[in-house]
Chains A and B, each alone.
Chain A
Amino acid sequence: MAEKRPPRAMVGAGNEEFWQGCDNGELLIQKCGKCGHRPWPVVQQCEQCGSDALTFEAVSGNGKLASWCTFERPYYGDLMPVPYDTILVELDEGPWFISNPKGFANTEAELGMPVKVAFLDCEDSHGAFKLPVFERA
């Protein structure tokens, strides 16, 4: 059953490909055709060299746990009952990615722990979508 989540603020505005990739089970991150930089979140121009020659390319989905924190205030009311865990993943390709843990809790988290992407069936006010989350590799 799809998990209800707060709305994807960035549906459209250059983000369609990212979410379409997730629907296809791929984590698509922009790559700069000029300098090779991998920016995340989505940018209109490369933050390293200013080029707009950006294309979405799949990353491996592998990374390391870089940090984590647990929300204790119900900013989203019943949509995200507290407490809930969020994590920061250092993707092998460079970008640092905010996400949620799957199959482990932050109380078991360790710095540098290898993780890999998984896609969670979710639903928001825009409809059904797949949310990239991370489990132990």
Chain B
Amino acid sequence: MADHGMTPMPPSLREYSRKASIVGVGETDYARDYAAERKRPEGWEPPIIDDLCKLAFDRAVADAGIDPGEIDALALHYTFGGPEPDEMVRHLGIAPEKAWVNGHIFAGPLPNIVGRIISGEVKTVAMLFGIGNRSSGRQFGGNTYSAGMAGPASYYYFHPWGWSSQAAHWAMMAQRYFAKFGKREEDLGHVPMIVRQHASTNDNAIMQKPFTIDEYMASRYIVRPLHLYDICLVNDGAVCLIVTSAERARDMPKAPVDIAGWSESYIEQDKFRVMVEERLRPQIQAAGNEALAMAGLSVGDIGHFEGYDVASIHLVNQIEGFGFTPDGTGIDFAIDGQITLGGRIPTNIAGGNMSANYMQGWGQVPEIVRQLRGEGGARQIAGLNASLSAMTQTDCVHPVIYTKGE
């Protein structure tokens, strides 16, 4: 397989299942920081990654109820750069034996750390992700992307045709989906509308105000046929996960959440056809089945899904691809109430990337931990034992399965 530039994951072996657990989570004040960035009151300064990371770290340690001295390793994850490990260690006021930069977007790094815990290389790890792409004015399209940053199939290639935006990938998918399955914009609009309803129960969601289908239709287009509400947010923030061996986790204050399965699959050829026609279905199925087999579970055992809703249509692709509903029926499934509380598979239950926060996959893990601990409050999924997250991009998918620790 080609080198995809992602954090390497150990193989999806049965004996690696439930060997490590998440024992603490911390997040920054996404909603408050976003509002301040928009208003830019007198004296406002953009948040720096150092401080965002420290806040998430302090909260994760407090959540875990452990002494920070128990943390022997600090794994740092930045998509667009951040402080050097020694600098961050000083800023956090800890003295781990090991601190290093371990990749960026979510999924790969977590199994990677589990592998290091299993091998005995590290014991209790603080995994920190921090990003400041909102305050830096980052645009996910046009000339802001340089040729040096993207692979040959990425969008800088298509400048002469004016085709250059992350959202345009999802727009091409959605348009073909509409034509193929006889759906319309106002049908798809139910998906972000439901995710927004979920966000309305989350005090830390950036967008909490519900909208109607009429409001959805009246909203501006980003790339037609996709509206503003179909696309994820861009915001600043940090997430911290404290991970340790399942054995040690049993002696810690909080109910452990075990890492039960993982996998990954990439489009290796004909990217545009597989992305737009297949909507990554072969990749999602292959990786999903492998992660389930590793966890010793079937799709029917998964009671909660946190999909990568960088765009509404891509959440539909994942709900269908993992087998919660047949190909082409995801929108109807959502309209039928099946992706919300009380439905078959409550999905992006705290607001996902479209309404709660955009932490490149990391932001959905704290909700999984809360749900599996039974700390979901008004949005708690009853009787939950297993959750699935999926970091799903234009050309790859990284599912991770989490189970309630015994």
Contacts and interface: CB of A to CB of B under 8 A. Distances in A.
B276 interface: yes
The listed residue with most B CB atoms (<10 A of its CB), out of A48, A90, A98, is A98
A110 B178 CA distance: 11
Interface of A is mostly: loop
Nearest to B153: A41
B162 A9 contact: no
Contacts of B160: 5-8, 122, 124, 129, 131
B223 A43 contact: no
A86 interface: yes
A47 B268 contact: yes
B164 interface: yes
Contact of A10 (B139, B142, B157, B276): B157
Interface stretch (B108-116, B167-175, B351-359): B167-175
A47 B161 CA distance: 24
Task: Give the size category of B's interface with A.
Answer: 35 or more
Contacts of A70: 221, 223-225
Interface string A26-66: 00000000000101011100011000000000000000001
A4 B349 CA distance: 46
B268 A99 contact: no
A72 B162 contact: no
A111 B147 contact: no
A25 interface: no
The listed residue with most B CB atoms (<10 A of its CB), out of A66, A95, A111, is A66
A6 B143 contact: yes
A80 B223 CA distance: 14
B269 A71 contact: no
A124 B159 CA distance: 10
B180 interface: yes
Contacts of B171: 69
A75 B141 contact: yes
Contacts of B224: 69-72, 83, 106
B165 A75 contact: yes
Contacts of A9: 147, 156-157, 159
A128 B221 CA distance: 33
Contact of B172 (A10, A75, A80, A88): A88
B157 A5 contact: no
Contact of A76 (B157, B162, B226, B276): B162
Contacts, number: 121
Contact of B225 (A69, A73, A97, A98): A69
Task: Give the size category of A's interface with B.
Answer: 35 or more
B32 interface: no
A96 B175 CA distance: 15
B158 interface: yes
B176 A41 contact: no
B152 interface: yes
Contacts of A90: 273
A119 to B, nearest CB: 12
Nearest to B276: A67
B223 to A, nearest CB: 5
A76 B142 contact: yes
Contacts of B173: 67
B84 interface: no
B179 interface: yes
Contacts of B152: 10, 41-43
Contacts of B168: 69, 71, 86
The listed residue with most A CB atoms (<10 A of its CB), out of B152, B173, B180, B225, is B152
B159 A67 contact: no
Nearest to A99: B161
A8 B159 contact: yes
A122 B159 CA distance: 13
Interface in B120-174: 139, 141-143, 147, 152-153, 156-165, 168, 171-173
Contacts of B153: 41
Nearest to A22: B160
B211 interface: no
Contacts of B164: 6, 75-76
A49 to B, nearest CB: 10
A111 B272 contact: no
Nearest to A6: B159
Interface of B: 139, 141-143, 147, 152-153, 156-165, 168, 171-173, 175-176, 179-180, 220-226, 268-270, 272-273, 276-277
Nearest 6 A/B pairs, CB to CB: A75-B142, A69-B171, A111-B179, A70-B224, A96-B272, A47-B269
18 contacts: A5-B160, A6-B159, A8-B159, A9-B147, A37-B269, A39-B270, A47-B270, A66-B273, A69-B226, A71-B162, A71-B223, A73-B222, A73-B223, A94-B270, A96-B276, A99-B161, A122-B160, A129-B160
Given A86-B161, A88-B272, 11 more contacts: A6-B162, A9-B156, A39-B270, A66-B276, A67-B176, A67-B276, A69-B225, A71-B162, A80-B162, A95-B272, A98-B158
